[in-house]
Amino acid sequence: MKVHVQAPGRVNIIGEHTDYNQGFVLPMAVSMGISLTAESRSDKLVKVYSRNLDQEASFSLSGLIPADSHNWWDYPAGVCWALRKAGYKFSGANIVFGGDLPIGAGLSSSAALEVAVAAALSHLSSLKIPFRELALIAQRAENEYVGVQCGIMDQFASALSMEGYGIFIDCRSLEYEHVPLNLGEHAFVIIDSRVKRNLADSAYNHRRAECAEALAVINRAAGKQSKSLREISLDDLEKARPVMLPELYNRGYFVVRENQRVLAAVQAFQRGDLQACGSLMNQSHEGLRRLFEVSCKEVDLIVDAAQAFRGVLGARMTGAGFGGCVIVLVRRERIKKLQERILEKTQASASRAPHFYVTKPAAGLKVTGLPSAERP
């Protein structure tokens, strides 16, 4: 049996560092992604070939143990491990994949690869796993096998997005809703700062730990047992402030406000108020920069230049941060001029010129040959 799978990357419109705090996010799939072909084998071997790297790796399904190795094949291997942990029985496969997503830029190339591998193996062994569960398996691979404590946003966005829509996810209930993105005269432009997310994963895990710590202090101060920052009100936070380290207060304040911004952005998109969406994006960046402290000077330079540019409604860093991409909501007719302005502004300081991608809200995971009845 053979299968072809396409899994897109994603860009987050708003709701950063909220998913692992059980809050709200509003990402969308992008038109770039992973394209993968797989063929089943009769043994327990998985061979994976990366067209972009021109490298092959192989592993046996029975010998998988999470290790601290940080190789690209940890993602497919992690998915196999997570599928087996979830109790699925499946055979080995020959997998070939490639794609047009920039790696490590914050557009979720790893989530797209994980989701694509999970979908391919599920299809080849007729497991009929719903897309939503494939996303959860992919997240488990990343959390427990690769060792990045990511939330569910990227895998959900890759697996479950719809063309023309953003996907609003409640990361506590894991319910989601497609939000129409009627952009009219406007478009989303992604600007890759090309600052690689060095040490991003450990810094990311560190932010996550800080959020847990902030929650513990707030709970102690308020005599509550809230399970996540999602359940915290600004009132709780103010009460705890005197006993909180300033940076922990800032992390908590950012998350509470960011959740509110996501809800406001969903309503604004639903009523077609792009101006309001843009202003929420700007506020989000301000918080990420000053309170959550996950931006960097190269990204701030791009965001500042974009926000000051006529025709731009909003601009913010997107993804985990510490480099990576900026998302800009801009009038279509101003895109070319915006690119020129950003290149001009970054010329003196950036070691590599930023890259630009004009993207539409794209479709999620596609598995060729999967009957529509098996879709979630």
- Please list, in sequence order, all residues whose beta carbon lies within 8 angstroms of the beta carbon of residue 73, skipping any fewer than 6 positions away: 48, 57, 59
Tokens of 57: 């790796």
Position of minimal CB gap to ligand GLA: 150
- Taking the CA atoms of residue 105, residue 106, residue 111 and residue 116 in that order, the dihedral angle to the nearest 10 degrees is -50
**What does each C-alpha distance from 374 to 61, 204, 206, 366 come to in angstroms?**
26, 35, 39, 12
Q: CA–CA separation, 109 vs 100, rounded Å?
A: 9
Q: Which residue do the tokens 């207060």 mark? A: 249
Least distance CB 336 / ligand GLA (angstroms): 29
Q: Which lies closer to ligand GLA via its Cβ, residue 109 or residue 307?
A: 109
Choose between 19 and 298: whose C-beta lies nearer to ligand GLA: 19
Rounded distance between C-alpha atoms, residue 304 and residue 152, angstroms: 29
DSSP bridge pairs for 331:
186
Nearer to ligand GLA, 318 or 346 (CB): 318
DSSP class of residue 102 equals P
**Shortest CB 136 distance to ligand GLA, Å:** 13
Please say if 236 is a catalytic residue: no
Q: Closest separation between CB of residue 124 and ligand GLA, Å?
A: 27
| Of 258, 267, 374, 233, residue with least CA distance to 318 | 258
Helices marked H in 86-126: 109-124
User: Among residues 54, 68, 100, 154, which one is catalytic?
Assistant: 154
Which run of H or E residues covers position 273? none
The burial of 52, by beta-carbon neighbours within 10 Å (0-12 exposed, 13-18 middle, 19 or more buried), is given as: middle
Q: Which is nearer to ligand GLA, 218 or 255 (CB)?
A: 255
Map residue 126 onto helix, strand or coil. Answer: coil
Place of tokens 């009219």: 184
Q: In the block, which residue shows the tokens 């010329």?
A: 347
β-pair partners for 186: 331
- Site residues (CB under 6 A) for ligand GLA? 12, 16-17, 19-20, 150-151, 153-154, 319-320
CB 38 within 8 A of CB 62: no
Minimum CB distance to ligand GLA, residue 151 (Å): 3
Least distance to ligand GLA, CB of residue 259, Å: 12
**Paired residues of 52 in beta bridges:** none
Minimum gap (Å) between residue 17 Cβ and ligand GLA: 5
Q: Closer to ligand GLA at the Cβ: 166 or 319?
A: 319
**CB nearer to ligand GLA: pick between 39 and 300:** 300
* Cβ 284 to ligand GLA shortest distance, Å: 10
Phi and psi at 288, nearest 5°, equal -65, -35
Nearer CB in complex with ligand GLA: 112/150: 150
Could you list the active site residues? 154
